[in-house]
Amino acid sequence: MCGVRFMAETVKMLSPEKRVFLSNKDAGCPMADQLDVELLQSLKEHNPDHTVVAYINTTAELKTLCDVCVTSSSAVKIIKNIENDKILFVPDCNLGAWVEKQVPEKTFKFTHGGCPTHLRMSKRNVAKAKREHPDALLLVHPECLAEVSNEADYIGSTTGIMNFAKQSDHKEFIIGTENSVLQHLQYECPDKKFYPLSKDCVCHNMKLTTLNDVYQCVKNLAGEEITLDEEIRVKALNSINEMIRLGGN
């Protein structure tokens, strides 16, 4: 795995019989570590009638306390498919608030978490980018603050943003998500122009892994093999299996 730790843990949950390696052992997601198990346990005790929905960017340990995981592209569909109308959404309150708007028939409670990379973007960035690129559409990720999302022409997951830009007749876009997406878009759509909403929207954790790390890991000289306590793996896997079940057709 050349991403961050929670991704490697999820792979291990789903494939316990395989050896899974994180090529740079320091590559973590700050959001995944924001909420600890004791706090979520206490929130569950205070809200026993709520279904706990976790953004997939959470640790394996935290997933053991969650009923279902979601990704940014599946969250709305999955939450609509949950029978219970009371949702405790963790840890990203911005993603949660965006889902809430699209599922008004349910009531939500949130914790105050979020992606530090996306939280760097503000409405001042929006005003500046629109001033500099008046013909561009603004496409943002739902991890952004509401003050940013409210100004957007499109809000969606990374895949959603990429598909929107590729299929649109528009020629210019301001991109409000991790800036490596711009490089992918520019490569795939050389006839269009892409501008970062903020030059600071760079996730240093996702950029930590180098080609040399991968080489060293493959040679068994570095990296970390992911191991999960079997009880934790099985309990955490429930939330992933629920995500797959509720996200199906």
- Binding residues (CB under 6 A) for ligand SF4: these are 4, 29-31, 57, 115-117, 178, 203, 205-206
d(CA 121, CA 201): 7
Q: How far is the CB of 3 from ligand SF4 (least distance, A)?
A: 8
Looking at the DSSP assignment, which residues form a beta bridge with residue 109?
A: 88
With b meaning 16 or more CB within 10 Å and e meaning fewer, what string describes 71-104? bbebbbbbbeebeeeebbbbbbbbbbbbbbeebe
Of the pair 129, 144, the CB lying nearest ligand SF4 is at 144
Q: How far is the CB of 177 from ligand SF4 (least distance, A)?
A: 8
Q: How far is the CB of 203 from ligand SF4 (least distance, A)?
A: 3
Of the pair 4, 88, the CB lying nearest ligand SF4 is at 4
Q: How far is the CB of 178 from ligand SF4 (least distance, A)?
A: 5
Of the pair 2, 29, the CB lying nearest ligand SF4 is at 29
Which segments within the chain are labelled E, that is strand? 21-22, 51-55, 68-70, 86-90, 107-110, 137-140, 154-155, 172-176, 193-196, 224-225
Of the pair 27, 174, the CB lying nearest ligand SF4 is at 27
